[in-house]
Amino acid sequence: MVYLISLGAGVLAGVLYGLINVRSPAPPAIALVGLLGMLVGEQVVPVAKRVIEGVPLTRAWFAGECQSKITGVAADANNEAADASRQG
């Protein structure tokens, strides 16, 4: 079933590419922006769930729950990198 959903998503992406006159495979910049959009779009679900439940959206929650999934860098690694840059 997951494969059929994936195929459907690919067909939808192909239709969108056709509508905006982008050839497939897309140029690297367009493809990377599209991938970023997919990563951000995946995080709409947990954010929407919190909003529906009436739980406040905090920066700490977003950093722990969503940021690492978008950037591919673990939250602890972000904190360590920030600490290292402050120490010089």
Q: What is the DSSP string of 51-82?
A: HHHTPPP-HHHHIIIIIHHHHSS-HHHHHHHH
pLDDT digits (tens, 9 = 90+) for 21-65: 887 777 788 888 888 888 888 889 999 999 999 999 899 998 888
Q: CA–CA separation, 86 vs 88, rounded Å? A: 5
CA 12 and chain centroid, separation: 18
Please check the confidence at residue 79 and state whether its pLDDT lies above 70. Answer: no
- Specify the pLDDT at position 30: 81
Give 88's pLDDT tier (boundaries 50, 70, 90). low
Report the alpha-carbon distance of residue 45 to residue 69 in Å, rounded: 13
pTM: 0.57
